[in-house]
Amino acid sequence: MDGQYLPISEAKISVLDYGFLHSDATYDVVHVWEGAFFRLDDHLDRFFAGLDKLHMSIPYDKKQVTDILRNCVALSGLKNAYVEFICTRGTSPTFSRDPRDAVNRFIAFAIPFGSVANPEQLKHGLHAAITPLQRIPPQSVDPTVKNYHWLDLVKGLYAAFEVGADTAMLVDAEGNVSEGPGFNIFAVTDGKVLTPKYGVLRGITRQTIFDICHTLGIACLAGDLSPAKLKQADEVFVTSTAGGVMPVTKIDAEPMGRGLPGPLTGQITERYWGMHRDDKYRLLVEYPATT
């Protein structure tokens, strides 16, 4: 923060920052696994594209941000880390309400790797509830820009908790399945993979699933996915930088298939973590030498 590295417990943001007051910010999250970033360039491309769309700027280029993120992780000593980088609208020196007068602010941090699904859920599968809540439409907030507009997702989570589910899936304006709190959704039917196309974040892990399916010779398409079609699928899984590929074995209290993680989900999961050993997608962190 402010050009210096410090313990995260000491990091502070002004209550006047429009990132706090108006949720006027964009961010991205990349993970480090076994001492290396995974697909960092893709995350940086999405982050800088978001800056342009929101009329924001930071005093660093992609190489400089890469160096900052590597330093954050190296100083933390974490071999498996959740690394977030943020640009807020910042504040105006004159307290102007015109966003053009604000000085944008860049923040980055590294904390221990976390997952949408806990170890038990990764093994046995998540229980998701499809809520009638509509995801913020893309006509209002561009979903390709990663943002902190989460009140609909949080409301969905509480609706899911009330019926005993682990997490929520929201719908779009047409009633089709959209996405969940921090994850994209996939359905497997007759060996084909389908994921929602409309109004969702173009997740980096989501793109990785397309890449894996291509190498496996499996059709993977983006399109409309109704709740009925999702519930009739042979397998369902969700994806996120925070957790990777995570099986869903129950939807609205009804088991999916045999109620166990499916074989194709397992195959894709294995390929996904295998890609973390491929130098094409890895960027090593240089940790300080220990004595």
Q: What is the pLDDT of residue 258?
A: 86
pTM summary value = 0.95
pLDDT of amino acid 289: 84
Rounded CA-CA distance 121/107 in Å is 32
If residue 28 lies in a helix (H) or strand (E), which one and from where to where? strand 25-33
The full set of domains in the chain, from first to last, is 8-112 (3.30.470.10), 119-276 (3.20.10.10)
Q: How far is CA 102 from CA 65, 91, 107, 123, 166, in A?
A: 21, 5, 16, 47, 40
How many CB atoms are closer than 10 A to CB 53? 12
Question: CA nearest 92: which of 84, 83, 101, 100?
Answer: 101
User: Which residue in this structure is represented by tokens 């933390």?
Assistant: 76
- How far is Cα 147 from Cα 143, in angstroms, rounded to an integer? 8
Query: How far is the C-alpha of 254 from the C-alpha of 245, rounded, in Å?
Result: 21
Quickly list H helices, 85-167: 119-124, 151-162
For the chain, helix, strand, coil in percent to 5 are 30, 30, 40
- pLDDT (tens digit per residue) in 199-257: 999 999 999 999 999 999 999 999 999 999 999 999 999 999 999 999 999 999 999 98
C-alpha gyration radius of the chain:
20
Strand duo 126-134 + 167-171: pairing:
parallel
pLDDT band at 291 (very low <50, low <70, confident <90, very high): very low
- How does DSSP classify residue 198? T
Give me the chain's average pLDDT, please: 96
